[in-house]
Amino acid sequence: MSLNYNDLRIGTTFIFEGAPYEVQEFAFLRMQQRKAVSQVKMKNLINGKIITRNFHQNETFEEVEIIRETVKFLYANHSQFWFCAKDNPSQRFFLTEEVVGQQGLFLKPNTNVDAQKFQDKIINILAPVKMELKVKEAPPSDKGNTAQGGSKQAELETGAKVSVPLFINTGDVIRVNTQTGEYVERVEKSN
């Protein structure tokens, strides 16, 4: 289906310069003495780069369908992330660090994630926005210093390192935002 510059709304996916893009932000701009243009902030679904472009009313685009499929994360080995089909563990495949991105740091074995497919090729992984992970190692806090609101680096069960409040200890289970890599809250205190 053909799209014009009016159709580029948030969430629309289309082909631009041979690659699939998703509209992140959209605004109409009216220039003095000129025709209106649409200013579009869009994300390249293959490499993740975000760009902003102005489009004119005479430009058209091909709408693209991005298929979502649930897959199960199995394990990471060096820079390969291994997955299998959700309902068929024997159907295994791996994706590179470039495709999985930062979210790979927070994936636990047997976690279901959404795979985005373009022309039968997985181009992106969408992990759950929040994951509960166990703190593998956290430096001890000085007694009485936890009320000040400082932070420290902690290593999680997946090997990811995140900044956590001083009251977080080894063995605690915390919730982390997989898109920003930030600590959200403590879920369970260690014994």
Domain CATH for 176: 2.40.50.140
| Residues of the domain holding 19 | 2-63
Give the residue, 51 or 28, on which the prediction is more confident. Answer: 51
Last residue of a domain, one of 75, 107, 126: 126
Claim to verify: residue 102 and residue 52 sit in the same structural domain:
no
Q: Report the pLDDT value the prediction gives residue 109, as an integer from 0 to 100.
A: 94
Strand partners, 42: 23, 51
Q: Average per-residue pLDDT in the chain? A: 88
Q: Which region among 21-25, 28-32, 37-41, 90-94 has the lowest average model confidence (pLDDT)?
A: 28-32
139 with 157, same domain: the answer is yes
Q: How far is CA 102 from CA 10, 82, 97, in A?
A: 23, 15, 8
Q: How many CB atoms lie within 10 A of CB 106?
A: 23
Q: Pull the structure tokens for residue 171.
A: 């063995």
**What total number of domains does the chain contain?**
3
- pLDDT at residue 166 in the model: 92
Q: What is the pLDDT of residue 164?
A: 95
Q: Strand order in 111-118's β-sheet?
A: 88-96, 80-85, 67-77, 111-118, 121-126
Q: Are residues 143 and 121 in the same domain?
A: no
Kindly indicate the confidence band of residue 173, based on its pLDDT and cuts at 50, 70 and 90.
very high
